[in-house]
Chains A and B, each alone.
Chain A
Amino acid sequence: MNVKIFPRKFQWLNLFWQLLVIMMCTSSCTVQLVPPYDPEIEHAIIDAARQSDRLYMEMINAPDDKKLFGIYKDKYLSVAVEINSLLLRNETRPKADHIVSSITKLKNFFFSAMEDHKKREVLNNAELILYHEQLKAFWKPVLVEEMALKKAM
């Protein structure tokens, strides 16, 4: 059965619709505003956040004479490497500007806290607790962002 949608003088519209459908079928026709979800990046965020959490928990619970920067230098560097790696992975992702901004802020904060500890050699518990709480607060949006991408699938 040949059903005509449009009167004869509007037959060109038939062609228009057919072209539209061909375009839709050939160009997957989806809107992409955010990067695709990456479970490996989500795991990397959780692991790095856990490492930084452990570092601060150890320093907070250590006696005053065991709060020297030198004792924790390697653990600081290990977290720094993980943050740098996360940043690099996101810099190469398409449409990841918001995520890159959040990780850059996290990186700046962590490096500045590390430098503060290095410069002063010892931080007191109040300072370590505040650094710890703020570091967790910097990690949270980064994780929320990656988990939100899962919903876009």
Chain B
Amino acid sequence: MTLNIDEVLSDMLLAVKSEVKDDWVIIKGSANDFLQSRKLRLDLLASFRINNQISEEFFMARLDDEKHILESELHAIAIISKVTAQKAANAAMSVLQKTVMSLIALI
């Protein structure tokens, strides 16, 4: 009876891949969603300024807020990435744990 470490590593990698694949769609979807709503807000901001409905000062302040919104969106993307990493790491650890437990049971 030998421990096939290559096989275990391959199984761990497969577990990681299957977790990441599902979550990439979510990261991509959220990033596109954030981008799309930013475009709408910037259109609105520009049109109000062009039509003189808002002052230069108000326009600049809202533009500065867009920077903070972007930072907040990046925090959300970071959380989604961390959730993905956490799930992948736990899936890999679960494969390793199951393999070792089954080997120990045979000793």
Interface of A is mostly: helix
Q: A29-B97, A32-B86, A34-B86 are in contact. Are A98 and B1 (CB under 8 A)?
A: no
What size tier do the contact residues of chain B reach? 35 or more
What chain B residues lie within 8 Å of A138 (beta carbons)? 68-69, 72
Count CB-based A-B contacts (< 8 Å): 130
How far does the alpha carbon of A125 sit from the alpha carbon of B106 in the complex, in Å?
74
Could you list 6 A-B pairs, sorted by A, with CB under 8 Å?
A21-B101, A34-B86, A101-B71, A127-B58, A141-B34, A148-B26
| Interface residue ranges, A against B (CB under 8 Å) | 1-5, 14, 17-18, 20-21, 24, 29-34, 98-99, 101-102, 105-106, 108-109, 124-127, 129-130, 133-134, 137-138, 140-142, 144-145, 148-149, 151-152
| Interface residue ranges, B against A (CB under 8 Å) | 1-3, 23, 26, 30, 34, 37-38, 40-41, 44-45, 48, 53-54, 58, 62, 65-66, 68-69, 71-73, 75-76, 78-80, 82-83, 85-87, 89-90, 93, 97, 100-101, 103-104, 106-107
